Each structure stands twice: as C-alpha cells, then as structure tokens.
C-alpha cells in the first residue's frame, strides 16, 4: 500500500515537473518548492544527526578531557557563526568563515597539485592506462597544449586599439578552439544520453509500475 501511495505521489509530482514542457506554470513551481523544502530539511536532519549530535554527545561524555577542552574552540566559533544572523554582531561570524576558508584553501591547493596537475602532466610511456601510440601521445599532448593556450587571454594592443594575441599563438588557439568544440560536443552527447536514459528509466519505471498495478 505504501509503495502504491509512494508511486502515486511520485507520479503526480513527476507529472507536475513534466508540465514544464508546455511552459512555466504554477504546478511546476509548486513541485520545485516542495523539492527544495524537502531536500533542505533532509540535509539538515542528516547533518544534525550525523555530524553535530555525535560531537555534542562525545563532549557530553567527557567534557573535561583534553579533547573536549580543545573542542571549545570550534564550539565558540560555531556560536559566533550563529550570531551572524544578528546584524550588529555579524562581524564576529567572520572568524568562523575565515577558518573554513583557510583550511579549505590549503586542502584544495594540495589536492590540485597532487591530484590533478602532476598526474595529468607526468603521464609518460606506459604509465597509466594509456593505450596510445607515441604519435597519438604527441598529438594528444599538442592538443592539450592548444587547449590550454586557448585559455591564455593575455595579448597586445594593435594599431586599431584592439587586443590581439601574439602572432605565433594565433594558430594554436584556432586548433584549441576546435578541440574544445569537439569536446563539448561529446560532453553534450553524453549528457543527452544520460538524460535520455533517465527519461527512459522514469517512463519505463512508471510504465512498469502501472503494468504491475494493473496486473
């Protein structure tokens, strides 16, 4: 019974979402607002349950331990973060945000260097799962450089006052733009495929469920 109710609710909501095909309409908006409400509440509940309450419980267990004392710092910062809702004390909340930004920057720096930059640059020979021939490898490297040069926007001003790239860079940029267009075409195709899959799955799912209900 529950499943049927769920199914019917799901179906109705899906139809509300699909009404957007005709154009923006209140039904679609209602559905979206419900989705936002539910997902926000769900996340809050989950964070509360999985991240905050355990810490509170842990501190409650042993409030005087060194670890617990140390946790006073984040708790104080967290309280300041809550004060940010009062305009007069909003500046106090900036300290917590500063901590998050500092730590996040450090982690991103490390990850980008060790996780993407170095591994993507230092793939030589048989390293990695490349099954390209050397020529293919060189072509890939050249195309990658062309793509990177396409993102190089510095240039010089010509007589007419327009900003133009140096002459030697113009050829590479043209190639890079073509590569990018092909890449984006491929991505578009992949996304379209995925969404077609999802559409097919939805329709197939409801189709199947109704067939089941009918049966």
194-213 binders of another protein (CB under 8 A): 194-205, 207-208
Q: In this chain, which stretch among 36-44, 154-162, 165-173 interacts with another protein, using CB under 8 A?
A: 36-44
Q: Is the Cβ–Cβ distance between 127 and 120 less than 8 Å?
A: no
Which of 193, 210, 212, 213 forms a contact with another protein (CB under 8 A)? 193
User: How many Cβ atoms sit within 10 Å of the Cβ of residue 93?
Assistant: 19
Contact flag: residue 105 with another protein (CB under 8 A):
yes
Do 15 and 28 touch, CB atoms closer than 8 A? no
- Least distance in angstroms from the C-beta of 159 to another protein: 27
Q: Which one of residues 98, 164, 212, 213 is an interface residue with another protein (CB under 8 A)? A: 98
Closest by CA to 100, choosing from 72, 66, 74, is 74
Q: Which of 102, 155, 166, 171 binds another protein (CB under 8 A)?
A: 102
CA distance 186 to 190: 6
> Contact with another protein (CB under 8 A): which of 6, 63, 155, 171?
6
What are the residues whose beta carbons fall under 8 Å from the beta carbon of 27, sequence distance 6 or more? 16, 19
Q: In the window 114-143, what residues touch another protein (CB under 8 A)?
A: 114-117, 119-121, 123, 127-132, 136, 139-141, 143
- The verdict on 99 binding another protein (CB under 8 A) reads yes
Task: Return the DSSP state at 62.
Answer: S
Helices (H), the chain: 2-18, 26-47, 53-61, 66-83, 90-111, 118-121, 134-150, 167-214
Toward another protein, which CB reaches closer, 61 or 159? Answer: 61
Q: Which is nearer to another protein, 164 or 203 (CB)?
A: 203
């Amino acid at each position: 019974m529950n499943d049927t109710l769920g199914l019917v609710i799901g179906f109705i909501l899906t139809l509300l979402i699909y009404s957007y095909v005709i154009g923006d309409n209140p039904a679609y908006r209602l559905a979206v607002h419900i989705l936002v409400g539910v997902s926000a509440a769900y996340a809050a509940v989950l964070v509360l349950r999985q991240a905050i309450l355990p810490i509170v419980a842990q501190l409650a267990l042993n409030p005087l331990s060194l670890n617990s004392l140390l946790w006073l710092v984040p708790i104080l910062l967290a309280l300041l973060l809550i004060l940010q809702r009062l305009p007069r004390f909003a500046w106090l909340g900036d300290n917590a945000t500063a901590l998050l930004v500092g730590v996040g920057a450090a982690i991103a720096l490390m990850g980008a260097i060790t996780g993407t930059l170095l591994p993507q640059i230092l793939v030589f020979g048989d390293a990695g799962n490349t099954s390209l021939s050397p020529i293919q490898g060189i072509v890939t490297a050249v195309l990658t450089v062309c793509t990177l040069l396409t993102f190089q926007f510095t240039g010089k001003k010509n007589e007419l006052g327009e900003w133009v790239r140096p002459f030697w860079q113009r050829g590479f940029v043209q190639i890079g733009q073509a590569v990018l267009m092909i890449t984006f075409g491929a991505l578009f195709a992949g996304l379209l495929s995925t969404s077609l899959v999802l559409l097919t799955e939805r329709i197939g799912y409801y189709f199947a469920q109704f067939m089941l209900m009918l049966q």
